[in-house]
Structure 1
């Protein structure tokens, strides 16, 4: 989606500049046409981004059923996130994609950095996936409306009634037919080590009797770890689905420990294999 709009505006600006400056095929013997062509490319990037953001913003304002997570919004969002990966010079290496089920699920993963969702969401290109994310993100210009439009749910840092309502809203979203993601740590670890899980997060899966899709994130904390700014590889492993039948006899604390152990095992594998 973003690639199409970029090439569209590139062509439009190139045509406009050629018309304004009277450039023809025979005029490419000076530096001016090439400079204008480069300018058209540079302008097309931000214009394409803002046009998509505006479309998503006003589409979210006018549609009647704001609880419906449209595939159009999902595709728009993923195109912007893929652009974000390029701007961050982030290459995401994914293993276990074959474990992604066809139906809805609750996604659970470790939380390393602010960029986790940028790396994660495009993996599920055919699965509209929203996240329960920290509340301050929803107050940012453009980003905030986009977060809401694609169905993300704000949650505060404190485990209070408001946080419980966010989990309830996530369950409702799941029952509507959407997959929902959550980071049980509740905050970023800024490393390849995990911090304590909050067992209450697993009520998001226990209450609706959902299958759980587990993901292990590795090296997302090191995106800006080098200077000069170099292309960075991060790794995500998608584990086999944890069926509800396989954990239905566990309480939230036991389930939390089980999932954390699965993620920790894969983190140990990454630490051995990736130098």
Structure 2
């Protein structure tokens, strides 16, 4: 009930009026039954705008810490994340990835819609990065279709490192459902998992128009940070050498 309160009576109307989000391809989302929505990840606001344009509840898994903080702030945080369609990762599993998979399998077995960002983390430069194979394993084990999703312009509204950037009209495009039942029983084959994941990312790329980089987003962030630090060090050295030369003229 809290989810629908937030969506239609509180947060939802405010976001609709201010940002006027649009949707394309909603007819590709089944009215009932389990399905996975696999989307690109540009901003922390993606998980707000994607469900906003849908008539069905979309559930994401989130860090358990969001639901376990003490005090009034922790209680409000728990209600907010729970109310906006997020559930805590099952921490009885050996790792966060295993816990997320277990939680999502349970949700899909209940006929729910699960949202997932295959890149694993937000893109820091607007490009689309290599997908993690968890989405493929989830699709095969749950035996459900995957709908590729493009979330647009959220990096303008809330760019990486900022709470708010500038106004833009966010959009969500839903592609045709992808059926991977032909691979049933092969959820432990890493080559099959990679092939499925790459197919999903290809469809997301076609929807978003993003430049695709065959590198994990986390690795790309690390690489770009190291390059920026090296460039800064070179500039600092050049400036220092210039000052030294001036002093010795």
* TM-score, structure 1 normalization: 0.60
Partner of 2:82: 148
1:186-197 alignment, distance < 5 Å = 186-197=120-131
- Partner of 1:207, secondary structure, is helix
Change (3 A) 1:267 1:204: same
CA distance, structure 2, for counterparts of residue 209 and residue 154 of structure 1: 23
Q: Which of 206, 218, 223 is the equivalent residue of 1:265?
A: 206
- Partner of 2:209, secondary structure, is helix
The answer for unaligned runs of 5 or more in structure 2 is: 212-249
Matched, 1:255 2:196: yes
Change (3 A) 1:247 1:261: farther
What is the CA-CA distance between 1:171 and the residue it aligns to? 0.3
Is the 1:192–1:267 Cα contact (8 Å) retained in structure 2?
no
- Partner of 2:21, secondary structure, is strand
What is the CA-CA distance between 1:137 and the residue it aligns to? 4.3
CA distance, structure 1, for counterparts of residue 57 and residue 133 of structure 2: 25
CA distance, structure 2, for counterparts of residue 212 and residue 254 of structure 1: 14
Matched, 1:109 2:109: no
What is the CA-CA distance between 1:73 and the residue it aligns to? 3.7
Partner of 1:54: none
Q: Which of 149, 154, 157 is the equivalent residue of 1:220?
A: 154
Q: Which of 176, 179, 182 is the equivalent residue of 1:240?
A: 176
What is the CA-CA distance between 1:269 and the residue it aligns to? 8.1
1:1-275 alignment, distance < 5 Å = 72-79=1-8, 80-83=10-13, 85-86=15-16, 89-103=18-32, 104-125=34-55, 127-135=56-64, 137-138=66-67, 139=69, 141=74, 142-148=76-82, 152-155=86-89, 161-223=95-157, 231-245=167-181, 248=184, 251-268=192-209
The answer for unaligned runs of 5 or more in structure 1 is: 1-71, 271-275
Deviations 1:9-44 (A, max 9, x none): xxxxxxxxxxxxxxxxxxxxxxxxxxxxxxxxxxxx
- Partner of 1:124, secondary structure, is coil
CA distance, structure 1, for counterparts of residue 2 and residue 177 of structure 2: 26
Aligned residues between the structures:
193
Q: CA RMSD in A?
A: 3.1
CA distance, structure 1, for counterparts of residue 16 and residue 24 of structure 2: 20
Is the 1:133–1:182 Cα contact (8 Å) retained in structure 2?
no
CA distance, structure 2, for counterparts of residue 90 and residue 168 of structure 1: 35
